[in-house]
């Protein structure tokens, strides 16, 4: 019996040694590069590193030209956007001034008509008194009375003229002067409103002309932009190939070293399993699988989450200059230049400031349709305090021309430019103003 128990224990140890670690068996080793191959690969890597640096610099120059060109066009388009908002405000003010002037003139005309009617009544009475041999306000009006009743009637009539009509005439005369003054002030306000509207219309024309000039510059450089994009693609391809060649043999050597480490771990595990099996009197119980640690739940709820969710819900919606309001994407408008060349007026979508209007409308915040005004709509904080829900702005020569919403982890959501769509992209720091605007 003792011999049989010993045989069983030896068999169990052998089984544990050969079968238990089979689940982690290491595959055959990959080929190990020679020392000469390693040296050659390092020399090639150094040569490619210089090429990669050159390509990276050329790519950065190409990106800078494209960004500057797009920024100039965006700036002119936002100037036109601002001029359009100011023009609409000036037209509203002028319309109210016209309505006030019309009402004041009607009141002045009514006062003049009433004065004329009282004048006619007085003149008629005076003429009747003259025909009867009396004058208004004179004692001779009582002479010739045929009876006491007639005398009282004449006295009452004269009193009515002196006490009521003449007093009413005086009051109405003062009212007419007041109405004339009111009419004069209303006309002055109308003249000022018309002047402001004319200035706003002039600013809109100037902005439109500037946009047309920027568009012409963009058209003249269209061939260069196409070449830069093509150069960018070729450069990225060359960079990827250079990086792949540099890491070729070193990656192979790393894989061999990883295989060595895995093989060593496997041998150690086999030895431990064999020793444990030889000493055990019964089968070792299997370890219970551990539960994965619960992940951190996503941030939900709150005004910031609502604003970000509304913006992200519009991913893929076309860019349309002038498009977007509190209810969602709208048809774009004509700008006489860049947007028209992309057919934005026929698209349903957002521009950069329109997307912000829709996002913040979800928490009851109203924003103007101009990025320059949106930058002043809340607290301005340093970029170092950037937090999800903040608005980011880009400027050229100190003038803001683009806005996006920061959503965290170095990412932002934006409606970038004509011909594109609403997207999530890493924050661009070129041209970024040194502050964020926080509304929440």
Active-site option among 74, 107, 352, 369: 352
Residue 162 pLDDT greater than 90, yes or no: no
Give the integer Cα–Cα distance in Å for 248 and 38.
Answer: 10
Give the integer Cα–Cα distance in Å for 352 and 371.
Answer: 8
Our answer to whether residue 414 is catalytic in this structure is: yes
Give the integer Cα–Cα distance in Å for 319 and 433.
Answer: 23
Our answer to whether residue 352 is catalytic in this structure is: yes
- Which is more confident, 261 or 421? 421
Around Cβ 380, how many Cβ atoms within 10 Å? Answer: 15
Average per-residue pLDDT in the chain? Answer: 76
Residue 21 pLDDT greater than 60, yes or no: no
Confidence of residue 316 (pLDDT cuts 50, 70, 90): very high
Alpha helices (H) along 132-165: 148-159
pLDDT tens digits for range 118-141: 667 666 665 665 565 544 444 555
Question: First and final CA of the chain: distance in angstroms?
Answer: 82
Give the integer Cα–Cα distance in Å for 269 and 152.
Answer: 138
Count the residues in the chain.
440
Residue 369 pLDDT greater than 80, yes or no: yes
Find which of 75-89, 119-133, 251-265, 304-318 is predicted with most confidence, using mean pLDDT. Answer: 304-318
Q: Which residues contact 328 (CB under 8 A, 6 or more apart)?
A: 314, 358
Around Cβ 396, how many Cβ atoms within 10 Å? Answer: 16
Give the integer Cα–Cα distance in Å for 102 and 90.
Answer: 18
Averaged pLDDT, 258-287: 60
Averaged pLDDT, 172-196: 81
Give the integer Cα–Cα distance in Å for 78 and 421.
Answer: 18
Which run of H or E residues covers position 379? strand 379-382
Our answer to whether residue 402 is catalytic in this structure is: yes
Residue 299 pLDDT greater than 50, yes or no: no
* CA 177 centroid distance within chain: 52
Alpha helices (H) along 280-414: 302-312, 338-341, 352-361, 371-374
Confidence at residue 43, expressed as pLDDT on a 0 to 100 scale? 79
Which run of H or E residues covers position 395? strand 391-396
Residue tagged 């790393």 (tokens): 254
pLDDT tens digits for range 22-39: 444 556 666 767 667 777
Residue 14 pLDDT greater than 60, yes or no: no
CA dihedral 328, 332, 338, 342 (to 10 degrees): 90
Confidence at residue 195, expressed as pLDDT on a 0 to 100 scale? 86
Q: Which residues contact 31 (CB under 8 A, 6 or more apart)?
A: 252, 256
Confidence at residue 131, expressed as pLDDT on a 0 to 100 scale? 62
Least confident of 17-31, 170-184, 203-217, 317-331: 17-31
Averaged pLDDT, 144-168: 62
Give the integer Cα–Cα distance in Å for 115 and 176.
Answer: 8
Structure-token pair, residue 144: 């010739």
Residue 161 pLDDT greater than 70, yes or no: no
């Amino acid at each position: 019996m003792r011999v049989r128990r010993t045989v069983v224990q030896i068999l169990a140890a052998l089984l544990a040694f050969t079968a238990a670690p089979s689940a982690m068996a290491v595959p055959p080793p990959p080929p190990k590069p020679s020392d000469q191959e390693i040296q050659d690969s390092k020399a090639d890597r150094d040569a490619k590193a210089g090429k990669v640096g050159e390509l990276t610099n050329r790519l950065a120059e190409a990106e800078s030209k494209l960004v500057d060109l797009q920024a100039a066009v965006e700036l002119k388009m936002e100037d036109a956007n601002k001029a359009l908002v100011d023009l609409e405000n000036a037209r509203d003010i002028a319309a109210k001034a016209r309505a006030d002037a019309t009402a004041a003139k009607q009141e002045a005309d009514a006062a003049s008509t009433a004065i004329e009617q009282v004048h006619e009544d007085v003149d008629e009475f005076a003429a009747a008194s003259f025909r009867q041999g009396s004058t208004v306000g004179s004692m001779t009006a009582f002479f010739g009375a045929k009876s006491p009743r007639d005398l009282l009637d004449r006295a009452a009539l004269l009193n009515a003229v002196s006490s009521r009509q003449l007093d009413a005439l005086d009051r109405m005369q003062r009212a007419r002067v007041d109405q004339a003054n009111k009419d004069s002030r209303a006309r002055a306000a109308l003249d000022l409103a018309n002047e402001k509207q004319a200035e706003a219309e002039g600013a809109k024309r100037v902005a439109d002309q500037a946009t047309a000039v920027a568009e012409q510059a963009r058209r003249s450089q269209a061939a260069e932009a196409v070449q830069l994009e093509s150069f960018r693609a070729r450069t990225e391809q060359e960079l990827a190939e250079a990086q792949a060649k540099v890491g070729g043999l070193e990656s192979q050597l790393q894989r061999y070293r990883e295989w060595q480490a895995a093989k060593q771990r496997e041998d150690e595990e086999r030895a431990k399993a064999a020793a444990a099996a030889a000493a055990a009197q019964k089968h070792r119980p299997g370890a219970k699988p551990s539960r994965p640690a619960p992940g951190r739940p996503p941030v939900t709820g709150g005004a910031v989450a609502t604003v970000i969710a509304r913006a992200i819900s519009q991913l893929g919606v076309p860019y349309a200059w002038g498009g977007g309001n509190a209810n969602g994407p709208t048809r774009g408008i004509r700008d006489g230049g860049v947007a028209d060349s992309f057919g934005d007026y026929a698209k349903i979508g957002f521009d950069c400031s329109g997307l912000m209007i829709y996002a913040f409308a979800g928490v009851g915040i109203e924003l103007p349709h101009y990025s320059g005004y949106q930058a002043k709509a809340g607290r301005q904080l340093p970029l170092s305090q950037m937090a999800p829900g903040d608005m980011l702005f880009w400027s050229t020569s100190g003038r803001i021309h683009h806005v996006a919403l920061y959503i965290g982890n170095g990412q932002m959501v934006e409606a970038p430019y004509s011909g594109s769509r609403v997207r999530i992209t890493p924050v661009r720091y070129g041209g970024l103003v040194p502050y964020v605007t926080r509304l929440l």
